[in-house]
Structure 1
Amino acid sequence: MLNNLIQSFNESEENLNSHLMKHAIPGEKCLRKCSLNDQKVCYFNFTLKTYQILGGSCGECSNGIADDCFNERCVIADGIGRSYLSLNFELPAPKIEVCKSDILVIDLHNDAEGLSTSLHWHGMRQFGTQFMDGVPYLTQCPIPYGESFRYSFYALDEGTHFYHSHAGNQKADGVYGALIVRSVNSDNPNIQTYDYDLSEHTILMADWMHALSEDHMPGLTRRSSLSQIFLCTHSYQQSTNSSSFAPLMIFHVEADKKYRFRLINAGLNVCPFLLQIEDHNMTIIATEVSYVKPQVINSLYFMSGERYDFVINTHHRPLRDYWIRFRQLNPCVQELEGFAILRYHKNNKLLDKLNKKQSVEFNDRIPPGYNEEYPNGTLLNSPLPGKKYMPITHLDDYRLDDKISEGAADKTNFIFFDTPGIPNSFLYTNPMLKKYMFTTSGNGMSFIGSANNISFAYPSFPLLLEPNRVHDEFFCDEKSIKNESCFQYDTKTICRCIHRIKFKLNSIAELIVVNIYDKITHPIHLHGHKFHIMDSGLLRENITEEDVRNGAIPLKNKYKRPPYKDTVVLPYPGYVRLRFRANNPGYWLLHCHFDWHLVIGMALMIQVGEITDMRQPPENFPRCHNYMPDGIV
């Protein structure tokens, strides 16, 4: 029963413990103005199923019959047909919008033949419900084909979040959706900076391929560009290099107002995105889970897993259309960009009369050239040095925690992420090493992901479910690696095991995450906690690990109110220094948020507290394990 899965966090909520589903309402009705003492039980029913872009439901849409593009269950994406993984026949998946402290109940039915799955609630720390984090073999068993699983947890983290599959490459194939948690106005220090926070002003960005992700994993025998298009919010998007039929997404605004926009990056590839809005500044007011002091910028550099909230001021501008532009940046060399439209109206009465078909259409204005910069000003979050570039650490959070910003950490760990290349001939001669395969080109090399030369291996059962089987020898770190888990290539020793870093419950934990090997920028995401970004910067090329550990990175706390996030940009060659209160007992993943980098082992596990500190799942929680009998049974 659900009351065994969800337990109240204070006595005032005990009345919800029994017969919780009797209080449930359809999830879409939980979109409302938030108020005190108005807690809802928000129920969503999702089915995972393989579906088609421009399938039979779309009629003659691909032949230019626009009315058919709005048929029920017609998904057009960028106008190029392919199969994809859908939740409820939508792309992206259905949006979830609730108020802080609402109870979320999501039934996920797996109807995707031959696939197991899970959902991770990116941004939800899961206090007290660690087994709802959605990481297969860490917090739950993967959900087999034909079975269902009920996720249920409190929406305790206000902010702009999203959810996505954490099984294989399923996020890249369409299993992602927005998750917005609002709160009462009195909790919002930036409430005076805008007039409207509208549901339709959520911008959910993703790069998109014209083939299933498995076509690129473990890889192609030749180098190719993976991403071919941008998808923006709904299924509608077009880019300058696309000849397909696909109307542009339009964001409608009234003149002389201020609007809050919520931006989510659900991207899959290694390329950062750049956001610009023609003739408009953006005022950053929040990063993921936390409000920051308003900061005016012109351009935003953002990577997979990151979210930002910004305000657009529509005062004193002509009533016309303005381009919203997304660009793909290095290391991707293809000039890929996408567009949406910011459309001005004279008053809200005209907005109220718009129907679905009028919310997406083409625009006869010529988009800007790829190398044309507009507006040309402050760029937030870029890892590059320069006058126009504002590092993320220059944002001031409203939170003030002296023990974080001024004191010393209780424990500090260095983490060196890398994707070393290994010759295919070397990998294929050892059966164990097949798990490292990641071929991306025809140069005879494959790649693995690693942290401190350890490629992460998942346990064969979810650790929370069988605590009696878990002991220190079950895990490894750089000081306790067993030789049978390792192999030597060139000057490197690479190991594969369940890599764990352990912190005491309620300690101040510090992670110094370093990239001096892999010549691209990585988005690093932590489950179960938010961290303060104490510092971020570049290092000299060819610096050694020994130099880094021996003082090359400054440890002085520079910022009184460092920004508070769960996903951060790790530059090359560079570092980020992160601190958090280890106050959420459990097993939590820290990983690169590029889909394929996680699959090949660019991750590790953070254990907070002892097993006795962790809340155990209910007795009827699904179990899974290896079955290896001795002989015929």
Structure 2
Amino acid sequence: MRLLILSLFIIANVSNNSKASLESFLPSNDNIFLTDTTKSSDKSCNRPCKFNVKPRRCHYDFEISPAFGEDERPALTVNGQTPGPSIHVCLHDIIVVKVKNKIPSQDITMHWHGIEQKGTPYMDGVPMITQCPISYGSVYEYAFAASAPGTFFYHSDSVLHQSDGVYGALIVEQPQPLEPHAALYDYDRSDEHTLLIGARFPELLTAKLEDTNQIRPDGILINGHEVSTKIFVIPGYGYRLRLVNAIALECPLVIHVYRHVMTVIATDGKSVQPATATAVKLYPGERMDVVIRADQQTGGYWIDVTGEGDCEGLKAQAMLLYSGFNYTSMLTEEPNADTDSGLETRDTISSQHLQSHRDVPSVSSVKSIYLGIDKTYPKFKDSDIDFRYISDAVPKKPFIPAVLSSLDNVLQINGKNFLYPNAPYLLKPRDVRPDTVCLVGEEKSNKQPQCLMVLNAKLNEVVELVLANEGLRHNDSYTFHMHGYGLQVVTTWRSPDNKPINRAEVQRLERDGKITRNLKNPPVKDTFMVPNKGLTVVRFTPTVGGSWLLECRSCSFSLPVAIIISVPLSIPKLVLDSLPSCGNYRPADVLLN
């Protein structure tokens, strides 16, 4: 079996894409992109962040390649390891990452989850939207500013690649006095106290040619391990822990520390009003910063991570160890309810119900958009199925993707699945075939089952998205991720009688005042959950231009569920010329999806 899996990676066609050079373009008016501000011989960017110190330019080289892990399972690795190397920088540093693709016959891009990419929307890492994919043997250089502090992470844009191991932590720190809740803790050791939680699969998903929707993880990993991650603390002190759900499937995680309470101080990199509970829940892609005080009897305590949804029944544990305690005794004793008096009365916090650290200003007008999420049952004849990529030579022939013939139901937004364009939408909008585009709200005018769904927004226009998980043909909740912007989550509502909803029902509930909004201090998030037979309402104000994806990464391995939010932007020709050109490149739909 090992030989068979490795053989899948041997045969490949090598492409020589050019690479974007940091020195060849000016992403913004800030000339620190062109000047090396690292004056000392110490090139490390993982350092205490101080005032009145010029930002550094932090260089990383990532080689993405297949390998076998310690457990002899195949995986995709970043520099030979999974999770990949952590990126620790200070606010306003410039992060430069050269990504080399060494996965034969596969294209990749790298997304920097939660980074807003102010001034550099072409570094967001979405294939055929913000860049050309990185083909085998090619190198792509990402360069962007760490423009906001917080807990982030990076991962391959492909759900399969991320699930196979291409992900890692990305932490942006700032001088301690700038932290709104610095008084609540004594230590912030982000390189030691970050819990990056991923999933382990029984086989390499990237190597599967058939549908992978039914393959579920068989384990949860904390920093790459099931039980060996350790958090060391000194009695009497408070510690900031950074929690990251880096699983691409719909796997909510409940995290609990035995006999300790957690105080949540930030979610998705944004500060919130402190809230205390004995457990927290993180949905896929969410991050949460919590404070734990070492106020119990000196000893060792388990940190429990319990999976839900697609990870139902899976667990992982880390250790919270007080200084001087010999933890070897914990390795021979399994934690159970009898060892923790707080388990039976556990209260759990999820981030969408928190309140922002700062109030938001009121607005006079809002552009409201309804996005209905539900499954459909496509029925197509074999003669309808089209096995080609969208061809310029046959512009009027309906494109029915082959995957539709093998699925019993397909999740869609407003009755459509997302179609990746034939040219990078942000960089070459005029090269995108207009007959593949459908505007959000006008999807019925396009007869294709897939289209490039675009929501046009104006700069500084307040946009409200009503995401309604209608639940007529399914009973699942879904997690969405917004690129480029933080969203105000003004309400999360679920039908009290557990009945399906639709646009007319939502409008009736709105008129009757049954759906209330927190317009004073809603949490600001880039990742949020939409409950089954319920809705989540989010607001944002586009302040920078770009083509930003709003996607449900965990919804499907086969057909993407997403829209593009397009905000006017003029990219200088100097920048466009410096970025790799796709030429006549046409990625296979299965790789993009």
Query: When the two structures are superposed, what TM-score results if normalisation uses the length of structure 1?
Result: 0.80
Looking at structure 1, the residues matched to 447 and 62 of structure 2 have their Cα atoms a distance apart, in angstroms, of 40
1:192 and 2:169 are equivalent in the alignment: no
1:591 and 2:591 are equivalent in the alignment: no
User: Where does 1:484-633 land on structure 2 (aligned, <5 Å)?
Assistant: 485-486=447-448, 495-517=449-471, 518-539=474-495, 540-553=497-510, 554=513, 556-594=516-554, 597=556, 599-608=558-567, 610-612=568-570, 617-626=575-584
User: Where does 1:298-309 land on structure 2 (aligned, <5 Å)?
Assistant: 298-309=278-289
- Indicate if the aligned counterparts of 1:207 and 1:229 stay in contact, CA closer than 8 A: yes
SS of the equivalent of 2:468 reads strand
What amino acid maps onto 1:513 in structure 2?
L
* Greater mean deviation of Cα atoms: 473-482 or 518-527: 473-482
- Indicate if the aligned counterparts of 2:155 and 2:168 stay in contact, CA closer than 8 A: yes
- Indicate if the aligned counterparts of 1:161 and 1:288 stay in contact, CA closer than 8 A: yes
1:434 and 2:389 are equivalent in the alignment: no
Looking at structure 1, the residues matched to 438 and 571 of structure 2 have their Cα atoms a distance apart, in angstroms, of 21
* Greater mean deviation of Cα atoms: 613-622 or 562-571: 613-622
1:335 and 2:279 are equivalent in the alignment: no
- Where in structure 1 are there 5+ consecutive unaligned residues? 55-78, 239-247, 351-357, 382-391, 440-444, 487-494, 629-633
Counterpart position of 1:229? 219
Query: When the two structures are superposed, what TM-score results if normalisation uses the length of structure 2?
Result: 0.85
Following TM superposition, by how much is the alpha carbon of 1:42 offset from its aligned partner in structure 2, in angstroms? 0.7
Looking at structure 2, the residues matched to 92 and 27 of structure 1 have their Cα atoms a distance apart, in angstroms, of 23
Looking at structure 2, the residues matched to 581 and 615 of structure 1 have their Cα atoms a distance apart, in angstroms, of 27
Following TM superposition, by how much is the alpha carbon of 1:83 offset from its aligned partner in structure 2, in angstroms? 1.1
Counterpart position of 1:492? none
Following TM superposition, by how much is the alpha carbon of 1:178 offset from its aligned partner in structure 2, in angstroms? 0.3
Deviation track 1:246-291 (CA, whole Å, cap 9, x = no partner) reads: xx21111111110000000011222311111111110000111211
Counterpart position of 2:590? none
Counterpart position of 2:204? 212
SS of the equivalent of 2:242 reads strand
SS of the equivalent of 2:438 reads coil
User: Where does 1:306-317 land on structure 2 (aligned, <5 Å)?
Assistant: 306-315=286-295, 317=296
Deviation track 1:16-44 (CA, whole Å, cap 9, x = no partner) reads: 35454986988744332333333111111
Counterpart position of 2:424? 462
1:399 and 2:358 are equivalent in the alignment: yes
What is the aligned-residue RMSD (CA, Å)? 3.0
Counterpart position of 2:56? 40
What amino acid maps onto 1:284 in structure 2?
V
How many residue pairs get aligned? The number is: 546
SS of the equivalent of 1:363 reads helix
Looking at structure 2, the residues matched to 603 and 371 of structure 1 have their Cα atoms a distance apart, in angstroms, of 45
Distance 1:502 1:322, change over 3 A: same
Following TM superposition, by how much is the alpha carbon of 1:396 offset from its aligned partner in structure 2, in angstroms? 2.0
1:377 and 2:368 are equivalent in the alignment: no
What amino acid maps onto 2:222 in structure 1?
C
Looking at structure 2, the residues matched to 411 and 50 of structure 1 have their Cα atoms a distance apart, in angstroms, of 46
- Indicate if the aligned counterparts of 2:360 and 2:519 stay in contact, CA closer than 8 A: no
Out of 132, 151, 173, which is 1:160 matched to? Answer: 151
Counterpart position of 2:255? 275
Distance 1:556 1:325, change over 3 A: closer
Distance 1:115 1:107, change over 3 A: same
- Where in structure 2 are there 5+ consecutive unaligned residues? 1-20, 387-398, 587-593
Following TM superposition, by how much is the alpha carbon of 1:371 offset from its aligned partner in structure 2, in angstroms? 13
Counterpart position of 1:323? 302
1:255 and 2:245 are equivalent in the alignment: no
1:53 and 2:69 are equivalent in the alignment: yes
Distance 1:85 1:114, change over 3 A: same
SS of the equivalent of 1:169 reads helix
Counterpart position of 1:490? none
Looking at structure 1, the residues matched to 338 and 478 of structure 2 have their Cα atoms a distance apart, in angstroms, of 24
Looking at structure 2, the residues matched to 2 and 250 of structure 1 have their Cα atoms a distance apart, in angstroms, of 38
Report percent identity of matched pairs: 26
What amino acid maps onto 2:485 in structure 1?
H
Following TM superposition, by how much is the alpha carbon of 1:209 offset from its aligned partner in structure 2, in angstroms? 0.5
Distance 1:396 1:25, change over 3 A: farther
SS of the equivalent of 1:618 reads helix
Looking at structure 2, the residues matched to 18 and 343 of structure 1 have their Cα atoms a distance apart, in angstroms, of 45
Looking at structure 2, the residues matched to 574 and 616 of structure 1 have their Cα atoms a distance apart, in angstroms, of 46
Following TM superposition, by how much is the alpha carbon of 1:7 offset from its aligned partner in structure 2, in angstroms? 3.8
Counterpart position of 1:102? 93
What amino acid maps onto 1:452 in structure 2?
N
Counterpart position of 2:25? 5
Looking at structure 2, the residues matched to 482 and 394 of structure 1 have their Cα atoms a distance apart, in angstroms, of 35
Counterpart position of 1:173? 164
Following TM superposition, by how much is the alpha carbon of 1:430 offset from its aligned partner in structure 2, in angstroms? 2.5
SS of the equivalent of 1:550 reads helix
